[in-house]
């Protein structure tokens, strides 16, 4: 943190609110700070996952990896990864077993978990908003809509699965700006993977997202699709590791790292 960067107290306060309060999506919380997807896997699966992320960097840009069993991250030294995400998902054999605001118990039962924190497109939303591009899900108070596409990711070891994307409707005249602004932050998904033509991605109905909530798409707007950090959850469902903890889609881990850190 250097002079001119936002006060990390905002990020800490947001994490404490997530730790204490009822769960809600984190879009627009602690604006200016990087948000992350999370996936915790048994140590035996960590190599496969890190390789899966390396082979699929658009949906799985890894920002930090913990030591086995640790619930601390360099991205927010005072945070507790067991409690500071508003809503967790616990997975058994690739099946969602539970959603919970506190994952401490699951961590106790699985003491060798390696946790991966993965970039999130919420990170560049503040840049898009500063450019005057409305984020419809924020304006409508909803979770961002996310879709399981028909595109396979490149497999790694025992892990395979399809690409998940988030969708934001953008006025046709602002699509180029949305592309160039998000492209500046490749570590948090970067430029869109697809603009328009959802059927080409295998998406049948934009009103029925696989994760999150539908949002309104107005006349003259184009659906723009960014690679999404829920992609690891699709890999869990397809590949069935014995155990995992993730964030619930849209309910992210808020770090102390300014969004601007990722600009190239």
46 is a site residue for its own copies (CB under 8 A): yes
CA angle, 65 then 66 then 71, to 5°: 135
Residue 86 C-beta-side C-alpha neighbours within 13 Å: 19
CB-nearer residue toward its own copies: 219 or 264: 264
The two structure tokens encoding residue 149: 């596409």
47 is a site residue for its own copies (CB under 8 A): yes
**Residue of 166, 192, 182 lying closest to 250 (CA atoms):** 166
161 is a site residue for its own copies (CB under 8 A): no
191 is a site residue for its own copies (CB under 8 A): yes
Which residue among 30, 41, 62, 188 contacts its own copies (CB under 8 A)? 62
Spell out the residues 6+ positions from residue 248 whose beta carbon is closer than 8 angstroms to its own.
23, 85, 86, 87, 88, 89, 99
**DSSP codes of every residue in 176-200:** HHHHHHHHT-GGGT-S-SEES-GGG
Site mask for its own copies (CB under 8 A), range 102-141, x = bound: ----------------------------------------
Q: Applying CB under 8 A, which part among 17-25, 126-134, 166-174, 185-193 lies near its own copies?
A: 185-193
179 is a site residue for its own copies (CB under 8 A): no
Size of site (CB under 8 A) for its own copies: 17
The two structure tokens encoding residue 63: 């920002």
**Residue written as tokens 């991966």?**
116
Minimum CB–partner distance for residue 218 and its own copies (Å): 30
Footprint of its own copies on this chain (CB under 8 A)?
A: 46-47, 50-51, 54-55, 62, 65, 74, 154, 183-184, 186-187, 190-191, 264
């Amino acid at each position: 943190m250097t002079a001119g960067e936002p006060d990390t107290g905002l990020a800490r306060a947001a994490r404490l609110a997530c730790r204490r309060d009822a769960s809600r999506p984190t879009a627009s919380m602690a604006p200016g700070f990087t948000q992350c997807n999370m996936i915790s896997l048994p140590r035996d699966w960590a190599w496969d996952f890190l390789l899966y992320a390396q082979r699929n960097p658009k949906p799985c840009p890894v920002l930090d990896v913990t030591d086995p069993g640790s619930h601390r991250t360099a991205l927010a030294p005072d945070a507790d990864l067991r409690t500071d995400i508003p809503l967790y998902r616990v997975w058994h054999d690739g099946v969602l077993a539970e959603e919970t605001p506190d994952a401490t118990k699951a961590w106790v039962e699985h003491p060798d978990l390696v946790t991966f924190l993965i970039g999130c497109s919420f990170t560049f939303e503040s840049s898009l908003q500063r450019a005057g591009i409305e984020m419809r899900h924020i304006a409508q108070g909803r979770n961002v809509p996310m879709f399981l596409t028909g595109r396979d990711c490149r497999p790694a070891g025992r892990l395979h699965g399809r690409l998940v994307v988030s969708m934001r409707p953008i006025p046709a005249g602002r699509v180029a700006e949305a592309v160039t602004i998000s492209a500046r932050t490749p570590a948090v998904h970067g430029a869109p993977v697809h603009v328009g033509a959802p059927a080409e991605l295998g998406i049948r109905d934009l009103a029925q997202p696989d994760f999150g909530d539908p949002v309104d798409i107005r006349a003259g707007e184009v659906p723009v699709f960014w690679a999404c950090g829920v992609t690891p959850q699709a890999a869990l469902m397809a590949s069935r590791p014995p155990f995992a903890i993730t964030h619930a889609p849209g309910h992210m881990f808020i770090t102390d790292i300014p969004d601007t850190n990722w600009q190239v």
